Amino acid sequence: MANDPLPTTQPTPEDRLFALLGERGQLQVATAESCTGGNVAARLTSIAGSSAYVQGGLVTYSNDAKANLLGVSREMLASVGAVSPECAIAMAEGARRAYHADLAVSTTGIAGPSGATARKPVGLVYIAIADGAETRVESHTFPGDRAAITRAATDRALELLVEGVERALAASLAG
Q: Is 89 in the site for a copy of itself (CB under 8 A)?
A: no
- CA dihedral for 92, 98, 99, 101, sign (positive or negative): positive
Give residues 100-119 in contact with a copy of itself (rule: CB under 8 A). 100, 111-115
Contacts with a copy of itself by CB under 8 A: the residue count is 41
Residue 20 or 69 having the CB closest to a copy of itself: 69
Q: How far is the CB of 54 from a copy of itself (least distance, A)?
A: 5
Rounded CA separation 111/36 (Å): 8
Rule CB under 8 A: choose which of 17, 21, 39, 108 binds a copy of itself: 39
Among 11, 23, 24, 49, binds a copy of itself (CB under 8 A): 49
Is 61 an interacting residue with respect to a copy of itself (CB under 8 A)?
yes
What is the C-alpha to C-alpha distance for residues 61 and 116, in angstroms, rounded to an integer?
Answer: 16
Contact indicator for 91, 60 with CB cutoff of 8 Å? yes
For a copy of itself, the binding residue among 18, 27, 31, 83 (CB under 8 A) is 31
In 3D, which of 79, 98, 72, 87 has the Cα closest to residue 35?
87
3-state secondary structure of 124: strand
Minimum distance of a copy of itself from residue 168's CB (angstroms): 19
Q: Is 64 in the site for a copy of itself (CB under 8 A)?
A: yes
Q: Of these, 17, 21, 44, 89, which contacts a copy of itself (CB under 8 A)?
A: 44
Contact 22, 96 (CB under 8 A): no
- Computed on alpha carbons and rounded to an integer, the radius of gyration of the chain in Å comes to 17
First to last CA, the chain: 46
Q: Which residues bind a copy of itself (CB under 8 A)?
A: 28, 31, 33, 36-42, 44-46, 48-51, 54-62, 64-65, 68-69, 98-100, 111-115, 146-147, 150
